[in-house]
């Protein structure tokens, strides 16, 4: 059994614990990548962990200007680190229709997972990015997320996938 993943302060960190029903947008119809990011960022205050939404917005868009966060396979992983959050926060959108976003494999993006971490907790941020990337690299998991009918189903998919991942 794999050791539990914990943050620098010893708290176990799971992706399912970062997502809330209110931060999951299914079949989002967006006009542009900017529109997708705006919608996702707008969900984050519902977590109660955002101190400064304008700063979160600035940090995400600044990171996107430096380099695309599309990772291929129909997935984009916009992320940033800032002091504007009390703890890591996340939001997820499935796009309908999928959207071209400068992915390295030129595939349209259908899942966008937004992660905002604390600037002073780089190790946790990197481990979360790695875990997101690992889960979303699985084609059947991605298909299940895209086919989910409710935010609760998405949460359950992440919980099940993380349990399997941790059991390996």
Query: How does strand 70-72 pair with strand 75-76?
Result: antiparallel
pLDDT tens column, 50-91:
999 999 999 999 999 998 888 999 999 999 999 999 999 999
pLDDT tens column, 101-131:
888 899 999 999 999 999 998 899 999 999 9
Q: Which two tokens stand for residue 138?
A: 């699985």
The domains found in the chain, sorted by start residue, are: 15-167 (3.40.930.10)
Q: Cβ(67)–Cβ(32) under 8 Å?
A: no
- Enter the pTM of the model: 0.90
First to last CA, the chain: 6
Percent of the chain residues topping a pLDDT of 90? 75
SS3 percent helix, strand, coil of the chain, rounded to 5, is 45, 25, 30
Q: Cβ(85)–Cβ(119) under 8 Å?
A: no
């Amino acid at each position: 059994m794999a050791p539990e993943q914990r943050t620098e302060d010893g708290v176990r960190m799971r992706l399912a614990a970062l997502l809330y029903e209110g931060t999951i947008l299914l079949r989002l119809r967006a006009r542009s990548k900017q529109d997708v990011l705006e919608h996702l960022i707008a969900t984050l205050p519902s977590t109660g962990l955002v101190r400064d939404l304008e700063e979160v917005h600035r940090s995400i868009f600044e990171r996107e200007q430096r380099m695309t966060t599309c990772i291929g396979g129909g997935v984009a992983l916009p992320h940033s680190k800032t002091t504007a959050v009390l703890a890591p926060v996340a939001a997820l959108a499935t796009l309908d229709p999928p959207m071209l976003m400068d992915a390295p494999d030129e595939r349209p993006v259908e899942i966008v997972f937004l992660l905002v971490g604390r600037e002073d907790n780089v190790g946790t941020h990197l481990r979360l990015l790695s875990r997101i990337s690992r889960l979303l690299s699985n084609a059947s998991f991605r298909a299940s997320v895209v086919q989910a009918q409710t935010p609760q189903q998405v949460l359950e998919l992440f919980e099940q996938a993380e349990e399997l991942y941790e059991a390996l």
